[in-house]
C-alpha cells in the first residue's frame, strides 16, 4: 500500500472538505453533496431511451374444453393420427410400417401398403371421424396383410416394437390383433387374450414362445393403445402408455419367420384364412425396429393440442373445471327421447319420457338425496316399498332397447331387484338386480352377470340389447360408462304385468337401495352415449390449478403433447401458454 507524505495539515483538511459523501437525482440532474455540506450540480444524466425489452405473450389454447372419450369427435383425452415425424422427432428411426387405416397406405414413406382380405370396411377411429379406422367383425375371411418378401423382408425384426389402437366388446375370447406369424417358425404377435387382458408373444427359436399376459381389463368396448417391445432380453407390454407386464427371456433375437404381417388376425394371406380374428376396430398401427421406452410410447399415446406461438412455450398454465357426476338426466341428453325417464326431482313420481306415465308409491318409497347429492332428488326403496306403473308400450320380444339408472346399495342378501318390467310371469320379464351383490341382467331367459356392486357407492348401470348388432354381441352391460359384460344371446320377454322400481314385477325380491334417473329407451345406445350419460355433471365446482406435469408430456414450437386420461369425462380444462 502506498503512503502519501509531504502534505500539510491544512491540505489534508481541504481534501476532506472537497470529498463527495452523497448523491441524488433531482429532475434530470445529478446533485452531489460534499463533506462540508456544499452541493454540486454534476449535470444532466438522462440519456436517450434504451432498446425495448422482450414482451411477454400469453395465448389461450383451450377454454372449458370437454375431455370426452377417445373415439368421440373433439376429444382431448388421448390419441392422435400418427406420422413418421412423431417417431423421428423423438430421435427414433422412421417406422418400418405405419398405417393410419383410413386407407391401406403406409404413411411411413416406405411404401409398404396393406392388402385387404375380405373387404374389411372402415369405421370411426380414435379421433371420432368417420372412415378413419379398420372395422373387423371376427371373420376368418377378413384381415389386412402384407406377404413375406423373403430373406430381406424388413418386418423380420430382431428386436423392436409393434402396436396400435384397438377396441373390442367381445370378452373371454382370444383375438389376434397384429403381428408377423406362421405356424412353422412362429414370429411375434399381440392380442386380446381370452382372459380379457393384453397377451404378447415373441419366438426366439421358432418352436416356443416368450409370452406374457397383462393385468388390466381391456375388453371393455373402449379404445386402448397397446404396444409390445422386445429388446433381446425382456418382453414388455404397455396399455395406454403405461407398463402393464414384462417377462425376461433367456436372451436372443426374434426368429425370422416367413409368415405375413397381419392386422386384424394372424396368418392371413389371399389364400389362407385368419386365425383368431379381431372383433372390433383398429387404428394407427405400426412396426419399428427401435425398442421404444415408456416415455416414447407415452408420447405416441398423447393427443396434440396446437398453439400458434411459433416457438416452444416457456410456460404452460392449466385449470381443471370439475363437475359432480350424477346430474338429473333430461330428454335432450338422449339421442332419441326415452320411453320412460324418472328423475324423482323434488320427490316427483312423474315421467319425463314420451309415455308420460307416472309411478304409484307402494308401501312408502322415501325421497332421498340424488346421485349428485342434491336434496330430495332420489328415491329410497326400503326393502318392502317400491314404485310401479303399467308396462304398456315398453320394448318386448327382440325389439332393441336400453335401460338403466343410478343406483346405490349395500344389500347383498340374495336377489334384490331394482328395476323390472314385463311378464306376466317373472320368467318372461326384463330385470336388473343384485344377486348376492353381483350385478345381473335378465331379459326373458337370457342372463348376463357383471361386477360386484353392493358396495354402498353410487353406480350408473346400463343394459343395451340389439338383436341386429354388427359385432354379434346382442347384449352389453355397462357400469360407470364402461362395458363389463356382453352376450351373444338376446332374450324375448313379454308384456302384461307391470313396470317396477325397487322390486320385481310382482312386488317380490324388494331391494334396499337408493335410485335416481331411471330410464328405458326403444333403441340400442352406442357406447359413446352411455359414456356421455354417465359423465353428465350437475354442480359446477371452481376451477382448480392442476399440476401441468400430470398431463403435459412434451412441448414443441407448434403443439402441446398431453393426456387427460386420469380426469373424469365430465371435467373440462383450460390451457394457456406463454413465450
**Which of left, alpha, beta for 526 (phi over 0: left; psi -120 to 50: alpha)?**
beta
Residues of the chain short of pLDDT 50, as ranges, are: 1-5, 49-55
Domains of the chain: 9-44 (no CATH), 59-65+307-321+545-578 (no CATH), 84-301 (2.60.120.200), 325-539 (2.60.120.200)
Per-residue model confidence (pLDDT) at position 54 = 41
Per-residue model confidence (pLDDT) at position 4 = 45
Q: What is the DSSP string of 478-516?
A: EETTEEEEEES-------SSEEEESS-TTS-SB-EEEEE
Using alpha carbons, list the distances in angstroms from residue 436 to 71, 149, 399, 432, 559: 35, 57, 29, 13, 51
* Contacts with 152 (C-beta within 8 Å, 6 or more apart), sequence order: none
Report whether 149 contacts 260 (CB < 8 A).
Answer: no
Please provide the size of the chain in residues. 579
Which residue in this structure is represented by grid cell 423382408?
A: 153
For the chain, first and last CA: distance in Å?
A: 53
E-state strands within 265-408: 279-288, 303-306, 315-321, 323-325, 340-342, 360-362, 366-368, 378-382, 386-389, 401-408
Work out whether the CA dihedral 293, 295, 301, 306 comes out positive or negative.
Answer: negative
Task: Look up residue 244 and give its three cell numbers.
Answer: 402393464
Task: Look up residue 186 and give its three cell numbers.
Answer: 412362429
Model pTM?
Answer: 0.85
Per-residue model confidence (pLDDT) at position 2 = 44
How far is Cα 570 from Cα 73, in angstroms, rounded to an integer? Answer: 15
How far is Cα 92 from Cα 84, in angstroms, rounded to an integer? Answer: 9
Amino acid at each position: 500500500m502506498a503512503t502519501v507524505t509531504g502534505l500539510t495539515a491544512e491540505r489534508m483538511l481541504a481534501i476532506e472538505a472537497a470529498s463527495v459523501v452523497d448523491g441524488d437525482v433531482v429532475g434530470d440532474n445529478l446533485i452531489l453533496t460534499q463533506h462540508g455540506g456544499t452541493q454540486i450540480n454534476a449535470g444532466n444524466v438522462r440519456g436517450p431511451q434504451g432498446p425495448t425489452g422482450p414482451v411477454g405473450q400469453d395465448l389461450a389454447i383451450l377454454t372449458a374444453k370437454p375431455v370426452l372419450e377417445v373415439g368421440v369427435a373433439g376429444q382431448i383425452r388421448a390419441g392422435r393420427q400418427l406420422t413418421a415425424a412423431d417417431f423421428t422427432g423423438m430421435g427414433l428411426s422412421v417406422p418400418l410400417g405405419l398405417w393410419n387405416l383410413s386407407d391401406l397406405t403406409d404413411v411411413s414413406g416406405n411404401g409398404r401398403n396393406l392388402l385387404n382380405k375380405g373387404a374389411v370396411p372402415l369405421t370411426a377411429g380414435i379421433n371420432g371421424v368417420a372412415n378413419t379406422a379398420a372395422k373387423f367383425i371376427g371373420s376368418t375371411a377378413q384381415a389386412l396383410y402384407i406377404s413375406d418378401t423373403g430373406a430381406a423382408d424388413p418386418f423380420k425384426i430382431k428386436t423392436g416394437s409393434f402396436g396400435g389402437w384397438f377396441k373390442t366388446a367381445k370378452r373371454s375370447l382370444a383375438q389376434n390383433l397384429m403381428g408377423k406369424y406362421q405356424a412353422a417358425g412362429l414370429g411375434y404377435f399381440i392380442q386380446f387374450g381370452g382372459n380379457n387382458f393384453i397377451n404378447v408373444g415373441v419366438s426366439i427359436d421358432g418352436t416356443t414362445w416368450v409370452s406374457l399376459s397383462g393385468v388390466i381389463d381391456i375388453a371393455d368396448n373402449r379404445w386402448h393403445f397397446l404396444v409390445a417391445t422386445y429388446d433381446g432380453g425382456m418382453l414388455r407390454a404397455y396399455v395406454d402408455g403405461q407398463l402393464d407386464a414384462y417377462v425376461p427371456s433367456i436372451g436372443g433375437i426374434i426368429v425370422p419367420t416367413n409368415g405375413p404381417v397381419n392386422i386384424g388376425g394372424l396368418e392371413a394371406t389371399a389364400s389362407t384364412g385368419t386365425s383368431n380374428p379381431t372383433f372390433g376396430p383398429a387404428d394407427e398401427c405400426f412396426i419399428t425396429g427401435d425398442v421404444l421406452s415408456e416415455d416414447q410410447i407415452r408420447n405416441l399415446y398423447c393427443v396434440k393440442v396446437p398453439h400458434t406461438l411459433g416457438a416452444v412455450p416457456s410456460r404452460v398454465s392449466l385449470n381443471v373445471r370439475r363437475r359432480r357426476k350424477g346430474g338429473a338426466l333430461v330428454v335432450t341428453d338422449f339421442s332419441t327421447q326415452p320411453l320412460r325417464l324418472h328423475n324423482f326431482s323434488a320427490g316427483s313420481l312423474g315421467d319425463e319420457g314420451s309415455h308420460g306415465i307416472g309411478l304409484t308409491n307402494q308401501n312408502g318409497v322415501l325421497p332421498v338425496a340424488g346421485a349428485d347429492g342434491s336434496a330430495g332428488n332420489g328415491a329410497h326403496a326400503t326393502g318392502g316399498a317400491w314404485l310401479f306403473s303399467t308396462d304398456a308400450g315398453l320394448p318386448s320380444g327382440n325389439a332393441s332397447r336400453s335401460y338403466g339408472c343410478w343406483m346405490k346399495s349395500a344389500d347383498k342378501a340374495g336377489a334384490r331387484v331394482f328395476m323390472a318390467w314385463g311378464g306376466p310371469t317373472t320368467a318372461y320379464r326384463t330385470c336388473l338386480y343384485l344377486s348376492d351383490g353381483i350385478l345381473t341382467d335378465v331379459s326373458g331367459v337370457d342372463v348376463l352377470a357383471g361386477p360386484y356392486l353392493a358396495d354402498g357407492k353410487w353406480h350408473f348401470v346400463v343394459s343395451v340389447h340389439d338383436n341386429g348388432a354388427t359385432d354379434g354381441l346382442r347384449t352389453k352391460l355397462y357400469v360407470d360408462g364402461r362395458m363389463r359384460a356382453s352376450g351373444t344371446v338376446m332374450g324375448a320377454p313379454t308384456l302384461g304385468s307391470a313396470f317396477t322400481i325397487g322390486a320385481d314385477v310382482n312386488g317380490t325380491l324388494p331391494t334396499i337401495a337408493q335410485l335416481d334417473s331411471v330410464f328405458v329407451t326403444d333403441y340400442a345406445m352406442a357406447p359413446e352415449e352411455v359414456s356421455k350419460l354417465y359423465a353428465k355433471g350437475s354442480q359446477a365446482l371452481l376451477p382448480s390449478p392442476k399440476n401441468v406435469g400430470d398431463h403435459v408430456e412434451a412441448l414443441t414450437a407448434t403443439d402441446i403433447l398431453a393426456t387427460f386420461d386420469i380426469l373424469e369425462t365430465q371435467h373440462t380444462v383450460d390451457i394457456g401458454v406463454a413465450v
